Amino acid sequence: MPRSIVVDDISEPITHRTLTLGNEPVVVTIGKPHPFDPERLEGYYCPYSIEFSGRKTCRYSGGSDAAQALQLVMTMISADLTSLGRAPGEEIGRADTPDDTGFR
């Protein structure tokens, strides 16, 4: 059974994306997938963080291998971005696509 993981920072970031919500930046950082148990290599987790309005939230997704953990992190990020506090009609997105974060 995988050990419990606590993510409080992204020690090995592999990419980041800056979005905007209103006039505020929203920075999403994705870390390198790691095995839950380095000795057994059974199951992987992929850490990520979302920084917005002076707060940083770190979480992770898990999968059977590194590719699945990385794929599932996109869905989790999408859900977290949807739950960010925003005014009615206010969109979160990239400069070139203000209503699309690119995470699904």
63-79 pLDDT tens trace: 999 999 999 999 999 99
Determine the distance from the C-alpha atom of residue 18 to the mean position of all C-alpha atoms in its chain, rounded to a whole number. 12
- Cα distances from 89 to residues 21, 47, 59, 77, 80, in angstroms, run 11, 30, 27, 20, 18
pLDDT above 90: residue 12: yes
pLDDT value, residue 66? 94
Question: Please, what is the end-to-end C-alpha distance for the chain in angstroms?
Answer: 28
Check residue 1 and give its pLDDT.
Answer: 43
pLDDT confidence band for 6 (50 / 70 / 90): confident
Report field, pTM of the whole predicted structure over 0.85 = yes
Cβ 19 vs Cβ 77: under 8 Å = no
